[in-house]
A and B are shown apart, each in its own frame.
Chain A
Amino acid sequence: MNVANNHLPDAEQLLVELANKIEPLLQPNTALVGIQSGGAWLMQRLQVLLADNISRYAVENGTLDVSFYRDDFAQRGLKSETRPSQIPFDVNDKHIILIDDVFYTGRTTRAAMNELFDYGRPASITLVALINRGGRELPIAPQIVGLDLPLDADKNLQLLQNSDSSLYLALQPSISTDSLTTIRTDLHE
């Protein structure tokens, strides 16, 4: 499918819809965990949109940088910037709402789950993705999706942040699987 940038969905709009879908899951013993960096941005915004229920149920939050758990370390090495994962709560017996921006092959999710399990044994994990672009390579799927948007393999869909913190989706130049440096166009927080 040939998708040009101006045909991409509005991330801000999708975010509101996503919040509505997540709201019923906010219960006691729940935690939101965002995967760096897109998932973390989404989580920050969701914390504002869902503030009432979050405070009512004392929902915890944290972020994961899955760099140390990626399965392509041998091919690509470490990213030049890694951020510490922050899980300031006890993972044991928690219902984790794991948030990612674009669900693609499923490998990032696997890495995130492996990392989460090194913190403890969650009661459940619900995967939330803003966009499911199809093309999964593992038997993993998001339970909550903002939008299904199938894309060809040569397309590189990224969630990016404007200087005013608003979010938008864009197609970036394709990263070949041989290149050693990740093209980092997202802004520093």
Chain B
Amino acid sequence: MKIHIKNGRLIDPKNNIDAHLDLFITAGKIIAIGKMPTDFVANQTVDASNLIVCPGLIDLSVRLREPGDEYKASLVSELQAAVAGGVTSLACQPDTDPVLDEPGLVEMLKHRAKQLHLAHVYPLGALTRQLEGKILSEMGELQEAGCVGFSQANTAITDTQVLWRAMEYAATFGHTLFLHAEEPFLARDGVAHDGEVASRLGLKGIPSAAEVLALASMLRIAQETGAKVHISRLSTAEGVAMIRTAKQQGLNISCDVSANHLHLTEHDIAYFDANCHLKPPLRTQRDKEALSAGLKDGTIDAICSDHTPVHDDAKLAPFAEAELGATGLELLLPLTLKWAVDQHVELVQALAHVTKYSAQILGINSGDLSLNSDADICIFDANEYWKVGASSLKSQGKNSPFTGLELAGKVKTTLVHGQIVFQG
């Protein structure tokens, strides 16, 4: 299949390109950029006039809900949502039912995903069996089955010695750990940031210290064990400062921030909006600004969606009882674009946080439009607004704090391995 993508504005962060260049695809790979090869006859032409052509987005934190939670979402619906959002590769969390701690489960998931010919799925395996934080999972076997890293999802390892050994073991083999920093006892039963808003609303708070203390442990253990650690979904200003220092000290650390936390604060909870019940909680304006600054100066590497679809009924409860999480795959691009506009960041730099750097963190050869790379491509209109709501979202999860808002950034065409998998 020969595809010619013409007239588009090509933005490729890895190769530092932001120019009007055509793309030529043959047999699933990019075979030319700019000038049409002499013997190239396109089977299909995509007119990308006034559109941006960039690498397919890579999302570091997604819940596909399969296996086990199919009433919340299914592989089909969520992978369709992914490509509708221009996401062509994603890392999925192991907190499924059953937990992804068996190679067989991972293989089955990868197999099912592959059959759908939508986005690439890179599972994160459970770091400990059943995510219980007691016994290490078979990281080697899981990696062979297709895991690109290991995570505890939202369940902290309370036994520090287990955490140490998990990191040591992973370091032995070069596995990457994807860890969310939250000290479980300080965060116990908390549902919102422990500050002015939670106090007024009478919601149990999770103090910033919960992230800071857990992060301090993780960084120290990483330093001592030499483990490669990716900190998922940072939320505090102090956390950003600690990562900055850690990187300066040469630790093998990376980190990401959820797109929600770049735009929202505790005040968005307003009158107990359950769509703002998230983990980590939405924190203060000051934290939000520090996260932005951290992204800009390279302390934070990537933006993820933290896609967590829930059943509609699950949000129909008082705040603390509402299931936490927000749908995000289809919002990753528009929220990244909005951040770029609000923060006066060049698109080529902003998009790096959802392509180039995310690929590096996952250790996959993707997220760029280099010659001979897989044609995973997102074509979008940066100026077209669309309204976030149940009818516009393909994901089964309609739960979003942005419901009812109009966001700019509409995906027009998504290609995975040179095949058009979404046309909007």
A and B touch in the complex (CB under 8 A): no
